Copies of this chain bind each other. A is one copy, B any other.
């Protein structure tokens, strides 16, 4: 684990970043919850703070909570800690106000710094603190995707920020990177037994047999996806999972979530903009990614195909840093696999399941991941809204097949087995 100074620096950096992300928001903006899957920005700011208060500070006997109501209001889903406010009603809690929540952040930050300064945290507390910073980074991405959805629900389509840079991309051809059948090691050694941080859902590291296959060198672009739409992809039942086709018919889906009907413009965190044809398509569901792949005569990669390809690459890419623009960008020219990390989360064909021998974290934190391993699909690689240095090759993100409000796209894969049979 990081030594004390590193840990304190990381804590301060992450905490400051959340406030910076909330800075463009009015109290009204920070209040709303545009659908059950989203949370108000104010809630993200408070819940991430509560995580440190509850799981680090309050572990010490005699701790006086900042506000005894907050345990109920800002617990997300830790049933072992107590009852909690129902998620779909988070947007109705106007008090505490945003300003009060920022006071809460300041107060808990001060208490945490005091503990860090005195260096009186035991090993377990230091581990939970580190976990809390990774946890807060996940909520930073959700804060962005949730506010994007909220602004999109406003018929005026306001921008989160007016000063986001726009990068025009170039067309780059797709190469296919082939790989023969082999046994690979995937996953991360279980933390905190191992020193490198990883979530419990990434472990244990284990062996899998990956079949012969080929991976596309870059994600599918907006232009390519538009061709699918114009070819009638959304009307051709043969391309879709049965449940997906029912869903697009029921809800009238005919394009990615934030695209305009004209297929030329899209809603971004910088407001309505022209679609860059060469940038990766995003805000599509698993159903759409899967149907596109079938239309293209390909398939989605498994999470193990993706990880075994990515594990040799540096975790570099277009993340949510200060100059990033908070929108996917076109691939740069080059050879081999590109954009594995950043830009868009890539839907895989893998259902989100426990690895063989999976053990949740002990105690309440065991509720962090394990209980959601049913009905969701794995996405890999991070996006333009993911904090830099947050993801890794073994990182598993997961959402439900119809979810579209994340920066979710796809990369194609192909079987090579046909040749050899």
Which A positions have Cβ atoms within 8 angstroms of B?
Answer: 26-32, 34, 42, 69, 72-73, 77, 79-80, 85, 89, 91-95, 97-98, 150-151, 153-156, 158, 181, 183, 204, 206-209, 211, 213, 237-238, 240-245, 286-287, 290, 349-351, 353-354, 356-357, 366-367, 371-375, 401, 415, 417-418, 421
Contacts and interface: CB of A to CB of B under 8 A. Distances in A.
A372 B242 contact: yes
Residue of A42, A156, A401, A418 with most partner-chain B CB within 10 A: A156
Nearest to A40: B28
A356 B243 contact: no
A30 B353 CA distance: 40
A286 to B, nearest CB: 8
Nearest to A86: B155
Contact of A73 (B156, B181, B245, B351): B156
Contacts of A34: 92
A93 B29 CA distance: 8
A153 B89 contact: yes
A388 to B, nearest CB: 28
A97 B153 contact: no
A158 B92 CA distance: 12
Contacts of A73: 155-156
Contacts of A29: 94-95
Given A242-B374, A356-B417, 16 more contacts: A27-B31, A28-B94, A29-B94, A31-B94, A32-B94, A85-B155, A91-B91, A181-B207, A183-B183, A206-B417, A211-B356, A241-B372, A287-B374, A350-B353, A357-B418, A375-B401
Contact of A204 (B72, B92, B372, B417): B417
Residue from A42, A94, A158, A374 having most chain B Cβ neighbours under 10 A: A94
B183 A373 contact: no
Give the interface centre of A29, A93, A181 by most chain B CB atoms within 10 Å: A93
A356 B372 CA distance: 25
Contacts of A240: 371
A415 B94 contact: no
A240 B77 CA distance: 13
A183 B27 CA distance: 58
Contacts of A209: 183, 207-209
A181 B30 CA distance: 52
A286 B371 CA distance: 14
Contacts of A207: 181, 209, 211
Contacts of A353: 349-351
Contacts of A77: 242
A243 B26 contact: no
A365 B127 CA distance: 54
A257 to B, nearest CB: 16
Contacts of A206: 211, 417
Given A371-B240, A374-B243, A95 B156 contact: yes
A28 B29 CA distance: 9
A216 to B, nearest CB: 17
Nearest to A78: B237
